Amino acid sequence: MSRPYVNSELRRLVAARADYLCEYCLILEIEAPSGCQVDHIISVKHGGATTEDNLCYACVFCNLQKGTDLGSINWRTGELVRFFNPRRDFWGEHFRLEGAVIQPLTDIGEVTARILDFNNNERIPERQALIEAGKYPSPSALRRMILCSAN
Report how far residue 56's alpha carbon sits from residue 83's, in angstroms, rounded to the nearest whole number.
Answer: 13
Above pLDDT 70, what percent of the chain?
95
pLDDT of residue 94: 97
pTM (predicted TM-score): 0.93
Report how far residue 104's alpha carbon sits from residue 96's, in angstroms, rounded to the nearest whole number.
Answer: 7
SS3 26: coil
| pLDDT of 3 strictly over 70 | no
110-120 average pLDDT score = 98
Where exactly are the structural domains of the chain?
A: 8-146
pLDDT of residue 71: 97
62-76 average pLDDT score = 96
pLDDT of residue 70: 97
